[in-house]
Amino acid sequence: MTNKIVVIGGSTGSSDVIKAILSPLPYDFAWPILVVQHQLASAKDYLLQHIHSISKIHVKYAADGERPIGGTAYFASPNHHLLLDPQGRLSLNQDAPIRHSRPSIDCLFGSAVAVFKSEVVGVLLSGANEDGVKGMISIDLAGGRTIIQSPRSSVSDIMPAAAIAAVKSPSIVRGEQIGPYLWDLQKEVE
């Protein structure tokens, strides 16, 4: 199992930021990336296809039971929570929405902390509710890294502003700088 994992959550206005995060990462980015974006259950996979076409890393929907590997970004499929099971494999379910959201950012972030503890790098993006704030707190308390999109660079600043108020010492980064920030962080750690 990998030693670190990146979990990304976003809602309103996060599509362009997710593209900006993933597109500059090199094909040999060593850490798996799990992405939850709030979307309608009927959403088409245009965003995923577009990111795949501009990204050097592999981009795909998560498959139940799959073990995440570096150089790959795994997206929650519409209307499914994405979690990590105790063995570090991907798990999908259709449990009740949390904060009116399925997939839920808090579900992903909490399950990542349960498996990876201080080795989680959490990224919270633009959004119009507070899903993800509890997850960022749990990452922070476990000693993981917390990266929050600058509210000034967010389409909707409710989610990042709430996380900044709740987390002890987050890194606050403009949306378009998060990808390079992750790459620098990986080089610094490894």
Residue 11 annotated among the catalytic residues of the structure = yes
Q: Which strand (E) or helix (H) includes residue 135? A: helix 133-141
Q: Which one from 14, 81, 101, 131 is the annotated catalytic residue?
A: 131
**Phi, psi torsion values for 39, nearest 5 degrees:** -155, 165
Mean pLDDT by 10 residues, the chain (190 residues): 86 92 95 90 72 92 97 94 97 91 95 98 96 97 98 95 96 97 92
Whole-structure pTM value: 0.95
Q: Which of 15, 38, 91, 138 is catalytic?
A: 38
Give the model's pLDDT for residue 41: 62
**Domains, the chain, with CATH or none:** 5-189 (3.40.50.180)
Active-site entry in 11, 14, 104, 111: 11
131 is catalytic: yes
Distance CA 150, CA 88 (A): 30
